[in-house]
Amino acid sequence: MNVLVLNSGSSSQKSCLYEIGDTLPDDPAGCIWEGKIEWAGNTAECSIRNSRGVYRKDQTSVASRGEAIERLLHTLWSGETQAISGPSAINVVGHRVVHGGAQHFEPSIVTAEVKSAIESVSVFAPLHNRAELEGMEIVAKKLGAVPQIAVFDTGFHRTMPLSAATYPGPYHWLEQGIRRYGFHGINHQYCAQRAARLLGKNLNSLKLVTCHLGNGCSLAAVLEGRSVDTTMGFTPLEGLMMGTRSGSVDPGILTYLVRQRQLSGQQLDEVLNEKAGLLGISGISSDMRKILAASKNGHERAKLALDIYVHRLRSGIGAMIAVLGGLDALVFTAGVGENSPEVRAAVCDNFAFLDLRLDQGKNAQSPLDEDISAPDTTVHILVIHAQEDWMIARECWSLVQTATTSMGH
């Protein structure tokens, strides 16, 4: 089965093609074709690679998402990056949908009803949900009646108890859908399943904290395979300090800024989402590599940014462990989690009292999908490569298999 996955970001369009046989492999399969278009100002950069080792990168003039998807699809079945014979070789298309609202959590076949549900919650995540809907329209236009499946980033957190999901505001907030949804769920779920496999344990017996540390950052407390708490909430702005996002701040600051400084909703949005976090504090970058380098060179604000990032990460992990009532493994994933020995060491140092200790040599090498805890510890520390697209492809494969089997009986 050829599964095409579309991941529509606010300023990027990514896509991968997976070829999956009659049984789903236990370990992640590599994609046979991968394409990405990233917009920066008025220009866009297009990079394509396929499993035959062909890699092409160039500046492109595509202006709209429609053109971007069209261009990516074209390279999938023509030219030197070709991976399949034509559009009809694609059996199913999976979409990462950031927000499913209070009604949609399970991976769903895209129907008019599902699209209107995604549209109705797009006010919660306007940049993402609209881009994803546009992707679905373009696929329908270009690939015809191929089944499309929406996989929700909020889905994994549907199992959070009401005590974790409800804000202690007025009760009618909950009735209006103002509640904690949580995000990065596709990768948190993947990491929990992968952790169990790497540890050789049954997921239903484990207490895990997964740390997704990319440009956006969130933690999840995973008890027996179910998310029971997470740091992001109603929007992907709550919780940890991030690249350009503040994470949690006293809501009193917002009312102060509105009343005393006359900031508009849009200005608040911009400050909290784009001018805060590592970038806002350091004044130099949202990129952790630059923050680490500047901090080593004595840049005071970069050092403060790093210290806040680590402080909030430690206190967030502590809270997740308290919710779980114990811990079997701490999982690091995504850009910072996979690549920064400094951040992992700074976080783990404070949890030595829980027997959470790193193997310094392994930590320094940042091996992927490995246990990097010291050999004699009871609590494990894992680094797991984020594989959202593979997780989406797996969900699509399973849903199509189930639909085919039920039609055959």
For the bound state, the minimum distance from the C-beta of residue 172 to ligand ADP, rounded and expressed in Å, comes to 34
Q: Which of 35, 100, 155, 214 binds ligand ADP (CB under 6 A)?
A: 214
For the bound state, the minimum distance from the C-beta of residue 297 to ligand ADP, rounded and expressed in Å, comes to 15
Sign of dihedral through CA atoms 216, 387, 390, 232?
negative
Element holding 322 (H helix, E strand): helix 300-324
DSSP 8-state class, residue 41: T
Positions 168 through 207 that interact with ligand ADP (CB under 6 A): none
Assigned token pair, 300: 């005071």
Residue 227 or 340: the one with the smaller Cβ distance to ligand ADP is 340
- Segment contacting ligand ADP (CB under 6 A): 56-64, 319-327, 334-342, 394-402? 334-342
State which residue has the least CB distance to ligand ADP: 335
Positions 227 through 246 that interact with ligand ADP (CB under 6 A): 243
Assigned token pair, 307: 């210290």
Positions 265 through 294 that interact with ligand ADP (CB under 6 A): 287-289
Question: Which one, of 142, 120, 119, lies nearest residue 132 by Cα?
Answer: 119
Assigned token pair, 111: 């129907």
Residue 224 or 287: the one with the smaller Cβ distance to ligand ADP is 287
Helix, coil or strand: residue 222: strand
- Segment contacting ligand ADP (CB under 6 A): 39-47, 84-92, 209-217, 256-264? 209-217
For the bound state, the minimum distance from the C-beta of residue 342 to ligand ADP, rounded and expressed in Å, comes to 8
From residue 338 to residue 367, the character string flagging contacts with ligand ADP as x (rule: CB under 6 A) and all else as - is -xx---------------------------
Q: Does the annotation count 153 as an active-site position?
A: yes
CB atoms closer than 10 angstroms to residue 193: 17
Question: Which one, of 271, 280, 393, lies nearest residue 6 by Cα?
Answer: 393
Q: Which of 335, 382, 389, 390 binds ligand ADP (CB under 6 A)?
A: 335
Q: Which of 28, 155, 216, 239 binds ligand ADP (CB under 6 A)?
A: 216
> Which amino acid, one-letter code, is at 68?
A
Residue 107 or 236: the one with the smaller Cβ distance to ligand ADP is 236
Helix, coil or strand: residue 194: helix
- Segment contacting ligand ADP (CB under 6 A): 20-28, 153-161, 214-222, 254-262? 214-222
Q: Residue ranges of the alpha helices (H) in 246-382?
A: 251-261, 265-274, 277-282, 288-296, 300-324, 334-339, 341-349, 360-365
Residue 82 or 366: the one with the smaller Cβ distance to ligand ADP is 366
With DSSP H G I counted as helix, E B as strand and the rest as coil, what are the percentages for the chain, rounded to 5?
A: 45, 20, 35
Q: Which of 27, 58, 153, 376 is catalytic?
A: 153
With contact defined as beta carbons under 8 Å apart, do 330 and 348 qualify?
yes
> Which amino acid, one-letter code, is at 403?
A
> What is the residue whose two structure tokens read 């053109």?
67
Residue 115 or 311: the one with the smaller Cβ distance to ligand ADP is 311
For the bound state, the minimum distance from the C-beta of residue 253 to ligand ADP, rounded and expressed in Å, comes to 24
Sheet holding 217-223, edge to edge: 226-230, 217-223, 207-213, 329-333, 380-383, 370-371
Altogether, the residues listed in the chain come to a count of: 409
> What is the residue whose two structure tokens read 């994933």?
333
Rounded (10°) angle between helices 185-199 and 388-408: 90
Q: Which of 334, 383, 391, 393 binds ligand ADP (CB under 6 A)?
A: 334
- Segment contacting ligand ADP (CB under 6 A): 104-112, 121-129, 164-172, 211-219? 211-219
Assigned token pair, 310: 């680590």
Residue 197 or 289: the one with the smaller Cβ distance to ligand ADP is 289
DSSP 8-state class, residue 5: E
Residue 34 or 328: the one with the smaller Cβ distance to ligand ADP is 34
Q: Which of 47, 91, 215, 248 binds ligand ADP (CB under 6 A)?
A: 215
With contact defined as beta carbons under 8 Å apart, do 124 and 101 qualify?
yes
Q: How far apart are CA 65 and CA 39, in angstroms?
A: 10
For the bound state, the minimum distance from the C-beta of residue 308 to ligand ADP, rounded and expressed in Å, comes to 15
With contact defined as beta carbons under 8 Å apart, do 48 and 35 qualify?
yes
> What is the residue whose two structure tokens read 């395979």?
225
Positions 57 through 86 that interact with ligand ADP (CB under 6 A): none
Residue 2 or 189: the one with the smaller Cβ distance to ligand ADP is 189
Interface contacts to ligand ADP, rule CB under 6 A: 214-216, 243, 287-289, 334-336, 339-340
Q: Which residues are catalytic?
A: 153
